[in-house]
Amino acid sequence: MTDRSDAFVFFGATGDLAFKQIFPALQALAKKGRLDMPIVAVGRKEMPIEKLRERVKESLEKSGSFDAPTFEKVSKQLKYAAVDYDDPASFKRISEAIGGAKHPVHYVALPPEIFEKVAANAKAQGLADGARLVVEKPFGHDLASAKALSEALLKSFPEESLFRIDHYLGKETVENIVYFRASNTIFESSLCAEGVESVQITMAETFGVKGRAKFYDSVGAIRDVVQNHMLEVVACLAMELPKSMKNDGLRDARSKLLSEVRALTPADVVRGQVKGYTDEDGVDKGSKTETFAALRFHIDNPRWKGVPFFVRVGKALPVTISEALVRFKGPECPVLDDKSTAPANALRLRLGPSPVIALGANVKKNGEEFVGERRELILTRSDPAEMKAYERLLGDAIDGKAELYARQDAIEEAWRVIDPITGDATPVHSYEEKTWGPDEAQKLAPPGGWGDPV
């Protein structure tokens, strides 16, 4: 198969993800000359091409990324094909739309239960040969269903042609975790059991589930973001660095680390549900779905033996922030007496909404006493031209680069870790909006307590 695709086929073009993320990403690729090919939007209902172009333009304007010359170019490349996912013959319309393209990339932003139909129908119409299939999470709802989904897709596309998106892996700030470790040996040598007391990762959102309530109630916080996004961040922080980014080295390293994460038990989890959640349209009135979760992970390898990794995620929390906080072990130096014992150093890696890398360090206070005070050395970067996750990931799929895509073995390892505590394995505790979850979460706090981001 050629390294580069020659047509972009987009299933789910009328959906919310397309409007908010994908159309801006496609324009960004086109602006850089990376999307010089037919762009075929696929939906269930007939739609005039002018109406599709209007929707694309509205998306770009609302995202603040509209660029008139690029939009004009994309408009000329844009086509529409109405298909019935239950009718393989209707997929002929896609063949007609891509013309003579031999190596299309099929991006599927649809519910997972439709993945298999799209793959099988594409194969039936000769659209799988030399092509790639890109699918969005969730990849199943447990280990068994994740395996079943993979087996179904493999009937139509070989493993090397399957690209499974976890958009968190395409975020600049998550990529920077690996680069920061690899390029700064002073920190990399300390990221181990000898130097680290604990690691905590927080993904907090001030908003609730409006617009996603029906879907969210079927999955909950743990399946929605812990099994994928948060465990991938754990892997990037804790894996042994690969010797090369080539030959699947990065994905091998992430998968190996996840295989060493111990399966969770009920004692490792506290679940919460924000008050008023069951009043949302689409939510079952007796729902026990969690909108908050605090979890404790252990990695069974020599590097991280005894170091707990804490993850906290939730809706309707005080701030919208994602960050990792590495707390190093405290100083044990006789020259520091009881009166002046300094707090432990900490490394803070903010993943969003804006990137921050900060080191908590101690310095002596002015004066005669040999006592100190805490300071934070902060490195920030704000680049309006920063490549967004979907631009990076879709561009990589077009080019055949899979390093930032989730691989099936890593997905299965993550489900192995999560499976024992999903569903009603643990109780769900109520919490108020704009708080850091239920009081019970404090029972699962890291040494020194949670480091609440601000």
At 432 the three-state DSSP class reads coil
Last residue of a domain, one of 136, 157, 183: 136
Q: 97 and 236: one domain? A: no
Q: 434 and 372: one domain? A: yes
Tokens 């409007």 -> residue: 19
Last residue of a domain, one of 112, 136, 160: 136
Query: Is there a domain that residue 48 lies in?
Result: yes
Q: 107 and 190: one domain? A: no
Residue 115 C-alpha from the chain's centroid? 19
Residues 334 and 349 sit within 8 Å (Cβ to Cβ):
no
Complete edge-to-edge strand list for the sheet that includes strand 78-82: 78-82, 39-43, 7-11, 104-108, 132-136, 162-165
Query: Is there a domain that residue 271 lies in?
Result: yes
CA distance 213 to 222: 15
CA distance 109 to 22: 9
Q: Which residues of 259-274 are buried (b: 16+ CB within 10 A; e: fewer)?
A: bbbeebeeebbbbbbb
pTM: 0.93
Torsion over CA: 74, 75, 79, 80 (sign): positive
Q: 338 and 393: one domain? A: yes
At 310 the three-state DSSP class reads strand
Last residue of a domain, one of 115, 136, 157: 136
Complete edge-to-edge strand list for the sheet that includes strand 292-298: 372-380, 356-364, 346-352, 321-328, 196-204, 308-314, 292-298, 269-274, 428-431
Q: 111 and 174: one domain? A: no
Q: 235 and 122: one domain? A: no
- Active-site residues: which are they? 229
Q: What's the structural domain count of the chain?
A: 2
At 5 the three-state DSSP class reads coil
DSSP-assigned states of every residue in 117-150: HHHHHHHHTT-STT-EEEEESP--SSHHHHHHHH
Q: 192 and 95: one domain? A: no
Q: 238 and 336: one domain? A: yes
Q: Tell me, what CATH number does 44's domain have? A: 3.40.50.720
Q: Tell me how far CA of residue 408 lies from CA of 23, 137, 398, in angstroms.
A: 27, 12, 20
Q: Which residues of 80-107 are buried (b: 16+ CB within 10 A; e: fewer)?
A: bbebebeebebbbbbbebbeebebbbbb
Q: 307 and 199: one domain? A: yes
Query: Is there a domain that residue 23 lies in?
Result: yes
402: Cβ contacts below 8 Å, ≥ 6 apart: 160, 163, 248, 251, 396
CA distance 208 to 279: 12
Query: Is there a domain that residue 276 lies in?
Result: yes
The 10 Å Cβ neighbour count of residue 450 is 18
Amino acid at site 237: L
pLDDT of residue 196: 97
pLDDT of residue 2: 54
Residue 166 C-alpha from the chain's centroid? 5
Query: Is there a domain that residue 453 lies in?
Result: no
Q: 117 and 214: one domain? A: no
Tokens 């769900």 -> residue: 428
Structural domain that includes position 268: 169-444
Query: Is there a domain that residue 86 lies in?
Result: yes
Residues 200 and 450 sit within 8 Å (Cβ to Cβ):
yes
Query: Is there a domain that residue 160 lies in?
Result: no
Spans of the chain below 70 pLDDT: 1-2, 333-341, 381-385
Residues 361 and 345 sit within 8 Å (Cβ to Cβ):
yes
Q: Tell me how far CA of residue 158 lies from CA of 129, 154, 319, in angstroms.
A: 10, 5, 42
At 222 the three-state DSSP class reads helix
CA distance 432 to 401: 44
Q: How far is the first Cα of the chain from the last one, in angstroms, to the nearest whole number?
A: 48
Residue 44 burial (CB < 10 Å; 0-12/13-18/19+)? middle
Cis peptide before 353 (omega within 30 of 0): yes
**Region label for 292, one of left (φ > 0), alpha (ψ between -120 and 50) or beta (otherwise):** beta
pLDDT of residue 245: 77
Residues 82 and 46 sit within 8 Å (Cβ to Cβ):
yes
Query: Is there a domain that residue 153 lies in?
Result: no
Q: Tell me, what CATH number does 292's domain have? A: 3.30.360.10
Q: 234 and 329: one domain? A: yes
Q: 211 and 358: one domain? A: yes
